[in-house]
Amino acid sequence: MNQPALLDVDPHVRRDEDFYPTPAFMTRALLKRLPSLQGLTVLEPCAGNGAIVDVLPADARIVTNDIAVRDPFVPDFLVDATQRRSWLDFHRAWPVDVTATNPPFDVAFPILQHAFEFSRRGVVLLLRLTFLEPTEDRGPWLAEHPPDRLIVLPRYDFRGNGKTDSVSTAWMIWNTDAQQPLAQRGVDVVTKAERDELMRAA
């Protein structure tokens, strides 16, 4: 289906800071499959222009961070989420229950590791499925900490050049509290029909 370009930039060149806003239907598909976030503190450490935050329920306490201000959205923090000291800052301000974000792929692994350490209930990342490839750097960690839930999404034209990406993305969810798991274990699939319905609803 036709989609407008997300930003007025050359769609064949990777964007600065690997910034690709998350389509609202993807976050809505996630929320359909998660229990209520009411009363939980949700950290969005790569908030960008607030695309995910705009869809999160109002009954959650939402804390935001990014390394840049993308007008008109201004995050609560402006620190580097790849650094552990940043997560110490988040934790001192608001102990994090859930981390939910669409991180830049090239720095997703350190962000995941910190989020896994500091999130009391779970971690939710939107990633290309190739993230699960057991590469030398993340393979051993993933072998010990495989995601508990995958929500696989239809391929999408993130670059806005009229072509879908070569690899599908998925919400990958890690439970960090065995007594109160954030999500049930398993693999779920968002069909194109569901995608279209969610886009119409938005």
Distance CA 41, CA 96 (A): 5
Could you report the per-residue pLDDT of 143-183, keeping only the tens digit for each?
999 999 999 999 998 877 777 778 999 999 999 999 999 99
Could you report the per-residue pLDDT of 104-114, keeping only the tens digit for each?
999 999 999 99
Eight-state DSSP code of residue 36: -
Q: Are strands 41-44 and 186-189 parallel, antiparallel or unpaired?
A: unpaired
Mean pLDDT, to the nearest integer, of 134-139? 97
Mean pLDDT, to the nearest integer, of 46-71? 96
Note the pTM of the prediction, 2 decimals: 0.90
Domain ranges of the chain: 16-201
77 pLDDT band, cuts 50/70/90, is very high
Percent of the chain with pLDDT over 70: 91
Q: Are the C-beta atoms of residues 22 and 51 closer than 8 Å to each other?
A: yes
Task: Pull the structure tokens for residue 109.
Answer: 């692994």
Annotation: CATH topology of 16-201: Rossmann fold (3.40.50)
Q: Are the C-beta atoms of residues 109 and 137 closer than 8 Å to each other?
A: yes
